Amino acid sequence: MQTSRCPEFQELLAIYHDAFPAEERQPDGILQENIDAGLSRAFIATDQNRVTFFLHAYDVPQTNLVFLDYAATHPSYRGRQICRCFFKQAFSLFGHDRILFGQQEDPNYGADRTVKHRRLAYFGSLGFRYFRDVPFMLPDHSGGTTITPMVLCAMTRNPVSTLPGHLIAKAIRFIFLQVYQRNEDDELLQQNLSVIPVEIVLTEAEADRNEPRCD
């Protein structure tokens, strides 16, 4: 998607603003610049020319990782399994050898813990597995001081039980430097890197029948 040539981009932004609070969102202009420059990619689903779903992702340089930055469904289309249909064909879009790498809010912190647990379970039902004992703290996108505890996750075409820590360290460094525009010596970045083990164990989330915002 080239946003300057795509009238659907404004519809994508409306879904984006509805689904994510300000501290979790990149500024619209930076999101647009990254897509137009080819630094990131945006995928959309439409229904009669109306954007119903979008996913924004980065290819992490010098790795086979794809960082899934945002995914959300239009409020009027939730419950129609659009997100699930997208991830059924994700490896055809990204490549069969890719590792899809993402994050979800940690349900052990903050408000709406039941919703957060359901979200973990939902993405677990799509095939994502969660990193055991690898805490991750997300900085504030809006220029504030909010720090959000997250749970990291990954999905591969053929399920694996572990991932090498050095690979995930590259992804986390990329997220801070490229996505959050932080410096290499950023305290929060170094804190996140310091807890990554040599080998990361992946675990399954508990099942839940309820659907989150990306459904």
Q: What is the pLDDT of residue 195?
A: 97
Q: What is the pLDDT of residue 82?
A: 95
Domain-embedded: residue 177: yes
Q: What is the pLDDT of residue 1?
A: 57
Q: What is the pLDDT of residue 143?
A: 75
Which range marks the domain in which residue 99 is found? Answer: 3-203
Low-confidence ranges of the chain (pLDDT < 50): 209
d(CA 148, CA 164): 24
Domain-embedded: residue 214: no
Q: What is the pLDDT of residue 12?
A: 95
Domain-embedded: residue 51: yes
The count of structural domains within the chain is: 1
- 110-162: per-residue pLDDT in tens? 889 999 999 999 999 999 999 999 999 998 887 778 899 999 999 999 999 99
Residue 127: partners with Cβ closer than 8 Å, 6 or more residues away = 87, 155, 159
Rg (CA), the chain: 16
Domain-embedded: residue 210: no
Domain-embedded: residue 175: yes
Domain-embedded: residue 208: no
Domain-embedded: residue 213: no
d(CA 119, CA 12): 21
Q: What is the pLDDT of residue 2?
A: 57
Q: Are 8 and 122 in contact (CB under 8 A)?
A: no
Domain-embedded: residue 149: yes
Q: Phi first, then psi: give them for residue 27, nearest 5 degrees.
A: -55, 145
104: tokens are 């979800």
The CATH number of the domain holding residue 129 is: 3.40.630.30
Whether the model clears a pTM of 0.85, i.e. scores above it, the answer is: yes
